[in-house]
């Protein structure tokens, strides 16, 4: 399954990607994660990326494309991958077409106010990255991670007005990409207003029926969290 995952803040991309990654052993590739890792390792690439980020500039397409190309060439991507946050420009989308064949672009979407309600109740474990929602998926113990006992944190950009602005900026940036994949007839529009517990089995069924998800689970016991 080689997919591009699209969706505004609050659409549930992290939850969906985590489920498919754990159940089917398909890597979830986020350019942001790659950038942070390269910066932490102080590689030449990391230093170049850091320069742009510290200046408040976008990392140039040619660097982003090369980073993704290198990542997709690694052995764990042989059975597929989930790309998150890439492509974010038409140039990147066209370059990706030359690197590999994409089976589908999945656009998870929710209305803005649904996104606000979800994210304003979201807390994250800073150690393992597990995401909780105090309204829908609360931790078993008050503001403590179920997996490792780490105190949960709330991101500063999860304030309602900030969320609305992030939502608007997302579509200003990614609508051309959504349209690009729609024109290629590989876009799957999926309304995740229903939430992940209902939505994940629905999307999984769609991917299997469309012959996009072609591998057997490596961990069938994975639950929807």
CATH of the domain at 198: 3.40.50.300
Both tokens of 65, joined, read 């494309």
User: Global pTM?
Assistant: 0.84
Instruction: Give the whole-angstrom CA distance, residue 37 versus residue 220.
Output: 30
In this structure, is residue 189 part of a structural domain?
Answer: yes
In this structure, is residue 141 part of a structural domain?
Answer: no
In this structure, is residue 133 part of a structural domain?
Answer: no
Q: First CA to last CA across the chain, in angstroms? A: 21
In this structure, is residue 10 part of a structural domain?
Answer: yes
Question: Chain-centre distance of CA 196, in angstroms?
Answer: 14
In this structure, is residue 163 part of a structural domain?
Answer: no
State the total domains in the chain.
1
**Ramachandran category for residue 42: left, alpha or beta (phi over 0 → left; psi -120 to 50 → alpha):** left
In this structure, is residue 38 part of a structural domain?
Answer: yes
What positions carry a catalytic annotation? Answer: 13, 88, 122, 155, 166
How confident is the prediction along the chain (225 residues), in pLDDT tens digits per residue? 999 999 999 899 989 999 999 999 999 999 888 888 889 999 888 899 999 988 888 899 999 999 999 999 999 999 999 999 899 999 999 999 999 999 999 999 999 999 999 888 989 999 998 988 888 789 998 899 999 999 999 888 888 999 999 999 999 999 999 999 999 999 999 999 998 899 999 999 999 999 999 989 999 889 886
In this structure, is residue 221 part of a structural domain?
Answer: no
- Structural domain including 51 reads 2-110+174-209
Instruction: Give the whole-angstrom CA distance, residue 32 versus residue 84.
Output: 9
In this structure, is residue 216 part of a structural domain?
Answer: no
Instruction: Give the whole-angstrom CA distance, residue 217 versus residue 5.
Output: 20
The sign of the dihedral angle between the CA atoms of 23, 24, 25, 31 is negative
């Amino acid at each position: 399954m080689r997919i591009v995952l699209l969706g505004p803040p609050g659409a549930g991309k992290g939850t969906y990607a985590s489920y498919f990654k754990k159940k089917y052993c398909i890597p979830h590739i986020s350019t942001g994660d790659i950038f942070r890792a390269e910066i932490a390792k102080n590689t030449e690439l990391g230093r170049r990326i850091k320069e742009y980020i510290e200046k408040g500039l976008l990392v140039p397409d040619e660097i982003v494309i090369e980073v993704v190309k290198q990542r997709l060439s690694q052995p764990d991507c042989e059975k597929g991958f989930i790309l998150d946050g890439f492509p974010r420009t038409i140039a990147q989308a066209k370059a990706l077409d030359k690197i590999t064949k994409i089976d589908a672009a999945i656009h998870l979407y929710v209305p803005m106010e649904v996104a606000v309600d979800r994210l304003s109740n979201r807390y994250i474990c800073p150690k393992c990255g597990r995401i909780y929602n105090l309204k829908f998926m609360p931790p078993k113990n008050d503001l403590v991670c179920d997996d490792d006992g780490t105190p949960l944190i709330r991101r500063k950009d999860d304030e309602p007005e900030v969320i609305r602005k992030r939502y608007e900026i997302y579509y200003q940036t990614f609508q051309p990409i959504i349209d690009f994949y729609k024109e290629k007839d590989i876009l799957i529009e999926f309304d995740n207003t229903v939430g992940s517990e209902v939505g994940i089995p629905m999307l999984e069924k769609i991917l299997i029926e469309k012959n996009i998800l072609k591998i057997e689970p490596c961990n069938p016991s994975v639950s929807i969290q």
